[in-house]
Amino acid sequence: MKLVLFDIDKTLVKSSAGHRAAFSAAFKEIYGIDASIDIIQPSGMTDQQIIFEVLKIKGLDEEKIKSKLDLCMEKMADVFSGMIATAELTILPGVKELLEELKNNGVLIGLVTGNLEPIAQSKMKKLNLDRYFKVGGFGNDHIDRTELVKIAIKKARSKFDFIFSNNVYLFGDAPQDMKAGNEAGIIPIGVTTGIYSKQQLENAGASLVLNDLTDTEEILRYVLN
């Protein structure tokens, strides 16, 4: 059995303004801080990393941030669930066809995303993609993306008797996705549908870089080999 994991933002979908607004609302309500995640470059970061980076710039120390981290993540999920109905979300080209074909070929499919799980799930549900994903590692599980990959594999093992042996792939748009894949001992595949170039993804250790996910046949050949 193969396991194919996907990042969400800029890999499966165009990221939504709702997610960004959820950070700002939670920073304000939980920490009393006016801040937007636009003061950093959040691409490829887990939600927990984003929370720490932004609030540190705003002058909060780690202890203070940690003490309210769970509340902050809960607030974000709350705010996002109130916005999901009107949030503009777009599936990137080729994604639906690829997921369908992977499923038809008996591939186990999962998510590895820095998004908090409730946010990730409501994005997938809204786009009617949720039924494809059987396991996942999410932004609330850990701050470090490499750990999220390991968590997704662990879930595959316990829920589906998956045996890990050079048979796990991770699609992502950011160098951090490639690095996490390599550190977790799996095969990272880059897509340049985010802000990063082929060169940047290769430098970060991508085993293959694609312009997008539209060439279903090429991807199936690579993954099913």
Question: Structure tokens of 131?
Answer: 């039924």
Shortest CB 10 distance to Mg ion, Å: 4
Closest contact distance (angstroms) between CB of 11 and Mg ion is: 5
- Residue closer to Mg ion, measured from CB, 60 or 180: 180
| Least distance to Mg ion, CB of residue 113, Å | 8
Nearer to Mg ion, 82 or 205 (CB): 205
Nearer to Mg ion, 113 or 122 (CB): 113
Kindly state the greatest CA–CA separation across the chain: 52
- How far apart (Å, rounded) are the C-alpha atoms in residues 82 and 209? 36
Q: How far is the CB of 79 from Mg ion (least distance, A)?
A: 21
Residues that bind Mg ion (CB under 5 A): 7, 9-10, 173
Q: Which of 50, 26, 56 is nearest to 38 (CA)?
A: 50
* Nearest to Mg ion of 10, 19 (CB atom): 10
Tokens of 41: 């470059």
Tokens 């186990």 locate to 108
CA–CA dist 116, 2 (Å, integer):
25
Q: Please report the sign of the dihedral spanned by the C-alpha atoms of residue 132, residue 168, residue 173, residue 102.
A: negative
